[in-house]
Amino acid sequence: MKAPSFAGSFLTADSSMLQSAVVRVAGQMSQQVSDSLAIEEPLEIQLTYGPSNSRQTRSISVTMRTPGNDFDLAAGFLMTEGVIQDANDVEQIVYAGGSFDEGTPPPQAMEVLKLGSRLNTVRVDLAAEVAVNVGSLQRNFYTTSSCGICGKASLLALRTVCPPRATNNFRVDAQTLYSLPSRLRASQGVFDRTGGLHGAGLFDSTGNLLALREDVGRHNAVDKLIGSEFRADRTPLRDRLLLLSGRASFELLQKALMGGIPMVAAVGAPSSLAVQVAKEFDITLVGFLREDHFNIYHGSERIDRYSSTSIGVIE
């Protein structure tokens, strides 16, 4: 059967989704239907910094993301990478791009993408007095899980940039934990229609969902979430739980650490280095969270109302 044509694809009123014709096959039968796709487009983050008489603008990152909450994404990225520490460090955040379909050629690396939005470049202007370490603006350093730097070096690098740590007093009931995935899922409107987005949610100790962000990239969802709190001057988030709809990687634990978050719960598995970060910086870490079970990788003493047994445990 001929593959469906995407020529008839069109944007919905929600800029994070695209409607497209697909052929749905069930058993021996098929039909052409309309399907919702999560939009993925590049976002270039630029930084303007330096004294008022010598301002510089530098492109520091290009990330593939779902359009929406772009200013939160940029602020969260800079905050979790240790470039900025306070909401007052930011003078303004603006869209700085032109439309690629009006004669402006796209970056060479992006030529294969059909970019029509003028909202794919965000510029963050820092206050003149904010000191910037140009070396720290490179995206491809220790933070990515594929960078090849050993765990010990990664943890040491984190210690040099993370904000001061407070005693972790955040506690949560096991029954509350069981309820969190369904509460997050019920609020993921775009996921319901596309099935293609990661979600990150902030909860209080009683299980109230306080904020939610979605994106095709799990790190982008977390940056958007923490960035929205940062811009509202609510960081560090010492009385909040971060719930991830997927796995927990080193990079996501790093972002939680930079945001001051005391507990991370993930529907998926944590990586070995994520567990190391949790132990090193005393972040309660839960993985494989479902409606009736979960694993605790660190901080079990801060989860209440469950029975403990050591059967089958290897010391």
- The whole-number pLDDT of residue 262 equals 98
Q: Is the pLDDT of residue 191 over 60?
A: no
Report the C-alpha gap between 228 and 293 in whole angstroms.
31
Report the C-alpha gap between 184 and 193 in whole angstroms.
15
- The whole-number pLDDT of residue 56 equals 93
Query: Is-contact 276 295, C-beta < 8 A?
Result: no
Report the C-alpha gap between 92 and 71 in whole angstroms.
10
What are the pLDDT digits (tens) for 20-64? Answer: 777 777 766 768 877 777 777 888 999 999 999 999 999 888 888
Q: How confident is the model at residue 195 (pLDDT cuts 50, 70, 90)?
A: low
> What's the chain's average pLDDT?
81
- Partnered with residue 202 across adjacent β-strands are 211, 242
The values of phi and psi at residue 132, to 5°, are: -125, 130
For tokens 């009931």, name the residue. Answer: 173
What are the pLDDT digits (tens) for 230-278? Answer: 999 999 999 999 999 999 999 999 999 999 999 999 999 998 889 989 9
Q: How many helices (H) and strands (E) does the chain have?
A: 7, 15
Percent of the chain with pLDDT over 70: 75
Q: How confident is the model at residue 1 (pLDDT cuts 50, 70, 90)?
A: very low
What are the pLDDT digits (tens) for 280-305? Answer: 999 999 999 999 899 999 999 999 98
Q: Which of 263, 268, 223 is nearest to 245 (CA)?
A: 268
Query: Is-contact 39 65, C-beta < 8 A?
Result: no
Q: Which long-range contacts (C-beta less than 8 Å, at least 24 apart) are formed by 152-155?
A: 154/250, 154/273, 155/276, 155/277, 155/280
User: CB-based contacts of 217: which residues, under 8 Å, 6+ apart?
Assistant: 63, 64, 65, 66, 198
Percent of the chain with pLDDT over 90: 51
Report the C-alpha gap between 50 and 59 in whole angstroms.
14
Backbone angle region of 124, left / alpha / beta, with phi > 0 → left and psi within -120 to 50 → alpha = beta
Q: Is the pLDDT of residue 150 over 60?
A: no
**Range of lowest pLDDT (96-100, 184-188, 276-280):** 96-100
- The whole-number pLDDT of residue 157 equals 76
Active-site residue list? 147
**Range of lowest pLDDT (92-96, 101-105, 164-168, 207-211):** 101-105
